[in-house]
Amino acid sequence: MSASISFDKERNILKIGNQPVVLHCHHYNMFLQQSISDLIGDEKARTLQISAAHRVISRLYESIRVNYSDPEQILTLGSETFKKLGYGIIDFSKVSASGGKILLPMSHYAFNWFEKFGPAKKGVCLFAMGFALATMNKAFGTSFDSTDIRETQCRAMNPEEYEYCIIEVGKNGN
Amino acid sequence: MAIDEDIIIESVQQLGLEGGENGLILEFGVALTYGFADYYAELEYEAERLFQEETEDELVRQAARELFIEAGHVCGFNTLGGIMESEAWEAVVMPMIEKQEDWIRGIIAVINALGWGRYEIVELIPGEKLVVQVINSYECRHYLEHYGTDAESAKCYLSLGVLSSIMNLIYEGKIVEKPELTETFYHQLFKENKKFVARSISCRAKGDHVCRIEVSKID
């Protein structure tokens, strides 16, 4: 189950749901992410990228038809869409309405960051964090502001030691 | 046989680019993603806005903009360079190529399949100058929607970087000879021996009717 990608030939726009998407390579993605940190610092860059990802994915879910009363369907939709768009593999099987651990056996950002730049000092799966949070918010009816999210393990930091990336989600203050 | 954009666009669509078993799209020697247009644009313009809050020095602000244009160089060099060296290019575009400038027409046709908006060649003087009109670019579309039409400078960062990278790759990098697209080659082409630079002639973010970019040779 995933949303389909369509091409508007008149305007040369690709879309998934109502969201325009563009094909870009990992060199561009990594360079842009690093540039944002260089310009405004790691913390502001982190906040900006997670919240921007959350916004586009939330809008995506608003635009595609799915049985929103079933959290499992939304989590499956999220996993399949993440994979289809080329971001890797995201596993929501260990989450519930109160949070939990999200595993990424493959992450476009983590894998390619290490390939391009070498070991990262911090987790780099910022888009995946926003994506995951928007998916969980939609699945469980929670809000962005009430949830806390952290990447506790990122393969880009040490691929020999970390087989997976791990994103942990909990309620704010916990 | 002239470059047939419809055939090229259709061929890109028929590649069926989607994440495989491992969730990655490995094609043209790179890992591709379908990125969300508004995500990229928000990162660029919000980071620029936040950065500008820290400095009023116009030279420093311009240096920040140059970073985003360089991201376009990186994109053009790796993605478009990878495409021009690919088997798909060999099979679909090469049979249409009669002269060197057809490489430019061919890669512009590919760009028009990537979701970036519509790129139209307005003027092309082989080895000297390229003028392209960019219609409905995702950068300016987002900028207009969120910031209005009174930008102090052009906002087509990706287009600026990508279009100059095309001219540098084709006329200076001799992409026809399929050089290896390494970091070293990138630095030679864009840092040491850069021959073509892009400038914005008009930009919708500044209130103009259309985004138009000129790439010309440095004297």
DSSP state of B93: I
List pLDDT tens digits, range A109-140. Answer: 999 999 999 999 999 999 999 999 999 999 99
Q: Does domain A5-171 have CATH number 3.30.1380?
A: yes
Q: Is the dihedral of CA B198, B201, B204, B209 positive or negative?
A: negative
Span A1-7, average pLDDT? 82
Q: Is the pLDDT of residue B219 over 80?
A: no
List pLDDT tens digits, range B66-80. Answer: 999 999 999 999 999
Q: Which residues contact A75 (CB under 8 A, 6 or more apart)?
A: A92, A95, A135, A136, A139
pLDDT of residue A15: 96
Tell me, yes or no, if A4 comes closer than 8 A to chain B by beta carbon. Answer: no
Element (H, E) at B217: strand B211-217
Q: Which tokens belong to A95?
A: 């989450």
Span B198-215, average pLDDT? 96
List pLDDT tens digits, range A147-166. Answer: 889 999 999 999 999 999 99
pLDDT band at A146, cuts 50/70/90?
confident
List pLDDT tens digits, range A95-104. Answer: 999 999 999 9
pLDDT of residue A147: 82
Q: Give chain A's mean pLDDT.
A: 93
Rounded Cα distance, B28 and B65, in Å: 28
pLDDT of residue A69: 78
Please report residues of A whose CB lies closer than 8 A to that of B65: none
Rounded Cα distance, B67 and B101, in Å: 28
Instruction: Identify the weakest region by mean pLDDT among A7-11, A88-92, B20-24, B39-43.
Output: A7-11
Q: Do B19 and A86 touch (CB under 8 A)?
A: yes
Q: Tell me which chain A residue has its CA closest to the CA of residue B75.
A: A28
Rounded Cα distance, A135 and B190, in Å: 40
Span A23-46, average pLDDT? 96
CATH code of residue B13: 3.30.1380.20
List pLDDT tens digits, range A60-103. Answer: 999 987 666 789 999 999 999 999 999 999 999 999 999 999 99
Alpha-helical regions (H) of chain B: 5-14, 37-54, 58-75, 81-84, 87-88, 101-111, 138-147, 157-167, 183-187
Q: Is the pLDDT of residue B147 over 90?
A: yes
- Domain extent at residue B74: 5-217
Phi, psi of B117 (to 5 degrees): 120, -170
Q: What residue segments make up the domains of chain A, in order of their start? A: 5-171
Tell me, yes or no, if A32 comes closer than 8 A to chain B by beta carbon. Answer: yes
Q: Is the pLDDT of residue B60 over 90?
A: no
Q: Tell me which chain B residue has its CA closest to the CA of residue A128.
A: B35
Span B142-162, average pLDDT? 94
Q: Is the pLDDT of residue A174 over 60?
A: no
Closest CB to A25: pick one of B9, B36, B78: B78
Tell me, yes or no, if A52 comes closer than 8 A to chain B by beta carbon. Answer: yes
Q: Are strands A13-16 and A5-8 parallel, antiparallel or unpaired?
A: antiparallel
Closest CB to B32: pick one of A24, A52, A82: A24
pLDDT of residue A1: 63
Q: Tell me which chain B residue has its CA closest to the CA of residue A50.
A: B39
Tell me, yes or no, if A68 comes closer than 8 A to chain B by beta carbon. Answer: no
Q: Do A88 and B48 touch (CB under 8 A)?
A: no
CB-defined contacts A:B, below 8 A = 180
With residues binned 3-state (H G I as helix, E B as strand, rest as coil), the percentages for chain B, rounded to 5, are: 55, 20, 30
Question: Based on the structure, what is the number of domains in chain B?
Answer: 1
Q: Do A40 and B34 touch (CB under 8 A)?
A: no
Mutation target to probe the B interface, by most B beta carbons within 10 A, among A8, A28, A49, A103 is A28
Tell me, yes or no, if A41 comes closer than 8 A to chain B by beta carbon. Answer: no
pLDDT of residue A67: 65
| Better pLDDT: A41 or B194 | A41
pLDDT of residue A173: 59
Q: Give chain B's mean pLDDT.
A: 94
Q: Do A23 and B18 touch (CB under 8 A)?
A: no
Span B172-178, average pLDDT? 95
**Shortest Cα distance, chain B CAs vs residue A103, angstroms:** 13
* Nearest one of B141, B158, B161 to B149, comparing CA atoms: B141
